[in-house]
Amino acid sequence: MTTLPDISGHCPDHLAAVRDAFAANFVDAPDGLNEQGARFSVVIEGQTVIDIWAGQADAAGVEPMSERTLVPVFSTGKAVMAILMASAVERGKLAYEEAVAALWPAFGARGKDRITVAQLLSHQGGLSGFSEPADPAIWFDRQAVLDRLAAQAPMWPLGTGSGYHPITVGYLANEVFRLADGRTMGRALAEDFARPFGLDLWIGLPESEHGRVAALRKPAKATDLGAIDAIKKAAFLDKGSAPGGRGSAEWRSIEIPSANLHGTARDLARILGVIANDGMLEGQRVLSPTVVAEATRERVAGQDKVLPFVMSWGAGFTRNAGLDIFGPNPEAVGHCGWGGSCAFADPARRLSAAYTMTRQSPYLIGDPRAQRLIRALYAAL
């Protein structure tokens, strides 16, 4: 007989189906992906209505998941990156339609002078990876990455569609943000959101917090990218397409807004509430409705050149239209991360939610464990 997990946190009785789905993921998950440790949180109109966690945080299975356990969420952090960029637009530091090269002249080399901030954020810039393979240690040298990408020619012509930038978009957006704002995204997240609102979210994790990080179990099989070409190889498969060679402690400590945010599901759901509630975060105005609309509206749509999906991109957000992974509202936005995590906002319901886990799956988007939870949530509402 399979034993159901001990679930901590809170879930109201009228949403008990969500708790049941969460428990089922530990004993009878789709594709045999039974959870090792997981958390699911839902915020409606600024109030955390569900926050549940269970399982183990360490590889040995002796350290339980707790309210303070941090999980690396990889590309799910791009949703936070998009909010930070929107905050710079709100404060007049940036404009979505301005050319990146206006702030960063070196970026305009080799035909990139017309790429706008919004096009960069919506994966249209043609820089999904390095055009020539690099040493994986290059990612630990921010300036080397920026110099190489600024000097690189786009891999496809501007205006011919999107090609997901798994890691590079974080370095590029962080540099644009830094030039406009004077701070890095990691510092701005801490000063403008984490400390004022009590959010346990980090881009660049101090060594003092490393002991709270959950151990991940990597996917048992490779991700299906469809037919492989040079663009997909540069993004995901070439030597040097991802950081390596320096150890997890150094990787956690550097700032990669596109790839190494550490946090909790509760606080990912809370910060996505900015988008779910027309720019309000727990009673405070953070973004105007106009900027929220500009951040989330469709910037490009069609078959992505890297992901094997027809995608609709906002200014940094994955849009739900056509994917139906963030509930039934096509105007919902969010992001998924390597291994299965996700966070999203549904303005129609004034709802935001996040799922984090320690057992990774090969799904690029729409992990079936998260989908089970999201379906149960909407059915119960």
pLDDT of residue 4: 82
For residues 317-335, give the mean pLDDT. Answer: 98
For residues 182-207, give the mean pLDDT. Answer: 98
For residues 43-69, give the mean pLDDT. Answer: 96
Residues 129 and 138: beta-carbon distance below 8 Å: no
Q: What is the pLDDT of residues 95-139, one digit of tens each?
A: 999 999 999 999 999 999 999 999 999 999 999 999 999 999 999
- 1 band by pLDDT with thresholds 50, 70 and 90: very low
Residues 204 and 140: beta-carbon distance below 8 Å: no
Question: How big is the CA angle at 42 (ends 40 and 48), to the nearest 5 degrees?
Answer: 115
pLDDT of residue 2: 63
- According to DSSP, the residues that pair with 41 across neighbouring strands are 51, 354
Q: What is the pLDDT of residues 157-172, one digit of tens each?
A: 999 999 999 999 999 9
For residues 269-293, give the mean pLDDT. Answer: 98
Residue 268 has pLDDT above 80, yes or no: yes
Q: What percent of the chain has pLDDT over 70?
A: 99
pLDDT of residue 245: 87
For residues 230-236, give the mean pLDDT. Answer: 97
**Cα separation values, 11 from 18, 39, 271, 375, Å:** 8, 12, 20, 16
Residues 129 and 241: beta-carbon distance below 8 Å: yes
- 362 band by pLDDT with thresholds 50, 70 and 90: very high
Q: Look over the chain and give the mean of its residue pLDDT values, rounded to a whole number.
A: 97
Three-state SS for 337-378 is: CCCCCEEEEECCCCEEEEEEECECCCCCCCCHHHHHHHHHHH
- According to DSSP, the residues that pair with 116 across neighbouring strands are 99
The total of other beta-carbon atoms located within 10 Å of residue 150's CB is 20
For residues 298-312, give the mean pLDDT. Answer: 98
- 3 band by pLDDT with thresholds 50, 70 and 90: confident
